[in-house]
Amino acid sequence: MDYIIEGIIEGFKLLIGLDQDVYRIIGLSVFVSSLSTLLAAIIGVPLGIYTGLKNFPLKTTYARLVYTLMSLPPVVVGLVVALFLSRKGPLGFMGFLYSPTAMIIAQTLLVTPIIVGNVFNHTKEHGLTVYNLGKTLGAGRLERFFLLLSELRVAVLIALVSGLGRAISEVGAVMIVGGNIQGSTRVMTSYIAMNHNMGNYGMSIAMGMVLLVIAFLLNSILYTYMEGEKHETIHTKS
């Protein structure tokens, strides 16, 4: 029990002492995860809305495939990306393996199905009525898209927060494609795993506390926004 308490104390010292290596790792983690989520949103939100609105053959099979991809094992994604980016792989000439770019690619592949699945599900259940209403009122395709996006903003925010949470907390894919290289591809989760294996519990605890704070902030933003939307809806109805 003593080593846990000592680890917590050491963790606070690392964070309060503004250790440059620690904050560089935190910065890289936030950058890689945020950019991955942004790229996944650019792909996933329009795709989720489009496939949620359209009726096409095998739509049920498509939905099952998307929901399956939402729970992809990170190590599998990391392995596939590493194989493609390795020297003998089809994209090896790009030299992306063991770089932040490779980590962004892997995390984007992980997050995209989460965003597509969430947006697709809400669009399928609630979006068609809004879309048809916009069409009846004479709105163009782009105007209808933004109208639908506005109506589904809570669902989109949930998808983005879920995706960002998945990206910043996963370790398997970034370890494989990034290599946990100091000063280059070391992120919070790989840092925690490495220091735990080395017995440096204080450093692991420090980074774990940062991850918990980030998770708390993400959920606080989501909760605050949803509460605001709820109050606005009640006020509008009254």
User: At how many degrees (to 10) do helices 20-53 and 141-151 cross?
Assistant: 120
Give the total number of structural domains in the chain. 1
- pLDDT (0 to 100) of residue 207: 81
Please give the Cα distance from 233 to 13 (Å, whole number): 45
- In this prediction, residues 173-200 reach a mean pLDDT of 88
Question: What mean pLDDT is reported for the chain?
Answer: 84
The average pLDDT across 190-211 equals 82
pLDDT at 233 over 70: no
- Does residue 41 carry a pLDDT above 70? yes
SS3 97: coil
- The proportion of the chain whose per-residue pLDDT surpasses 90, expressed as a percent, equals 33
Q: How do residues 137-159 score in pLDDT, each as one tens digit? A: 777 777 888 888 888 888 888 88
How many C-beta atoms lie closer than 10 Å to residue 149's C-beta?
18
The tens digit of pLDDT for each residue in 73-110 reads 999 999 999 999 998 889 989 989 999 999 999 999 99
Range of the structural domain that residue 107 is part of: 2-237
Instruction: Give the CATH number for residue 87.
Output: 1.10.3720.10
> Do residues 130 and 78 make contact, with C-beta atoms less than 8 angstroms apart?
no
> Is the distance from CB of 3 to CB of 196 less than 8 angstroms?
no
Between 11-25, 183-197, 220-234, the lowest mean confidence (pLDDT) is in: 220-234
